[in-house]
Chain A
Amino acid sequence: MTRDDSNWAKPVKTLELSDRDGAINANVRGRRLNAANGGFGRLSQKTFSVRIGREVTPQTVITTWKARFGDFWPKGQRMFLPATGIAPGEVGVINASIPGAPTMATGVLVIYADDVSFSFMSPEGHPFAGPLTFSAQSDESGITVAQVQELTRASDPFWELAMMVPVLGERMQNDIWRATLRNLAKHFGVDATVESKIVVVDSRRQWRNAKNIWQNAAIRSGLSAPLRLIRRS
């Protein structure tokens, strides 16, 4: 057994989920994970980082981030986690507002967690395919830096087009992490600028994965919205 054994989730074929109170628990159960190579759009490597200061340790940042993950998201985005919180193998349900559309339901699998980092993988239908890593570390001068790193593609042609729409695309794919890191820093009393580094690693679209659109969480959430309203009434 290696030292990181308990930090990693066991491989799963499909996601399992018990309903989360107050959440739209759709587009998660039975979904397979979708890696970057299973996505459609351009492959981008992104790093967003914020300097939080010397007073707070990386461990404190990650403990707080894990405990209050959804609180640091911008308004309209919600994460529903089990009581065990962000732990390897747990599934988080995401309910996200998209301008002019019903709330989109999707999720993530926590694939890794330790005291200075944690990672998610997205399932089919999620806007992005690929891993997301959240971490905190001390730089050479002892300043704690919090980071979000991803290597992702838009999952399908719908999301790829959405990401190309001025303002909306930037808001959906990048501003969410800039806002999250700003809010995280603010929690520790720091008003800091978030630095972004975005590199397009592969500008080709993967047309063989265009069929992913059948699993698109926004389209499926939109189609099932009237049914949910009927059930509620």
Chain B
Amino acid sequence: MAMTESTAPVRYRDGTAVVDLPAQIDASAERTLNEAYATAAGHGSKTVLLNFGRVEFLSSTGIALVVGILARARKDGRTITASGLSDHYREIFEITRLADFMKIYADESAALKGGEAT
């Protein structure tokens, strides 16, 4: 369903797969997100950190895509965490209650250290 070019590079740090989410997360990001999760899963990482630092636009379809990744991870026995959310996106996570399903950290280092989410 891709219409807009988007990339979600996957990095590996301390056993965690870090997915740098694209600036725009809507229907056009479906393939990108699914491929990024598949790459992270293929690497065998037990934790996948979604880095929202670059995100500028998140639609409800984008939220549905993130929910899809959460569902897959849950089935696969993987943990999804998130970092780099602006206040606006924290608010969205509050409305959609996505925060119920994943720990949210202020930044990548805090996420990699684990512990209490913010």
A interface list, Cβ under 8 A from B: 1-5, 7-11, 33, 35-38, 45, 111-114, 116-119, 121, 131, 133, 135, 137-140, 145, 149, 151, 199, 201-202
Q: Decide if B59 touches A112 in the complex (CB within 8 Å).
A: yes
A35 and B96 contact, CB distance less than 8 A: yes
- Please give 7 more A-B residue pairs, beta carbons under 8 A apart, in addition to A138-B3, A201-B74: A112-B60, A112-B63, A117-B26, A119-B64, A119-B96, A135-B27, A145-B1
Instruction: Tell me whether chain A's interface is mostly helix, strand or loop, or mixed.
Output: strand
In the complex, which of the residues A2, A11, A45 contacts B57, with contact meaning CB atoms closer than 8 Å?
A: A2
Q: How far is the CA of A9 from the CA of B89 in the complex (A)?
A: 12
Which of A10, A118, A133 has the most B CB atoms < 10 Å from its CB? A133
Contact with A along B81-115 (1 / 0, CB 8 A): 00000101101101111001100000000000000
**CB < 8 Å: which of B2, B57, B64, B100 contacts A36?**
B100
Please tell me if the beta carbons of A4 and B57 are within 8 angstroms of each other in the complex. Answer: yes
Nearest Cβ on chain B to A41's Cβ, whole angstroms = 15
User: Is there a chain A Cβ closer than 8 Å to B15's Cβ?
Assistant: no
**A33, A45, A116: the one within 8 Å of B27 (CB):** A116
With known contacts A7-B59, A11-B91, A45–B97 Cβ distance under 8 A? no
Residues of B in contact, count (CB < 8 Å): 30
Residues of A within 8 A of B70 (CB): 151
Q: How far is the CA of A5 from the CA of B96 in the complex (A)?
A: 15
Whether B1 contacts A45 by the Cβ 8 Å rule is no
A1→B87 CA distance, assembly (Å): 10
Most interface-central of B59, B74, B101 (chain A CB within 10 A): B59
| Known pairs A9-B95, A201-B71, A201-B74; A138 contacts B60 (CB<8 A) | no
Asked whether B59 lies within 8 Å of A114 as measured between CB atoms, the reply is yes
Q: What's the least CB distance linking A189 to chain B, in Å?
A: 23
Minimum CB–CB distance from A87 to chain B (whole Å) comes to 13
Q: List 30 A-B contacts (CB under 8 A).
A: A2-B88, A3-B56, A3-B57, A4-B59, A8-B91, A8-B92, A8-B95, A9-B95, A11-B91, A35-B97, A37-B97, A38-B97, A45-B67, A111-B96, A116-B26, A116-B27, A117-B59, A117-B60, A117-B61, A119-B64, A119-B96, A131-B96, A131-B97, A133-B61, A133-B63, A133-B64, A135-B27, A135-B60, A137-B61, A149-B68
Interface 0/1 of B52-81, CB less than 8 Å to A: 000011111101100110110011000000
**Those 7 A-B pairs whose CB atoms lie nearest each other, nearest first:** A35-B97, A119-B60, A112-B60, A37-B100, A137-B27, A45-B71, A201-B71
A149 and B69 CA atoms in complex are apart in Å by: 13
Contact residue among B3, B74, B95 (Cβ-Cβ distance under 8 Å from A202): B74
Taking the closest CB of chain A, its distance from the CB of B74, in whole angstroms, is: 5
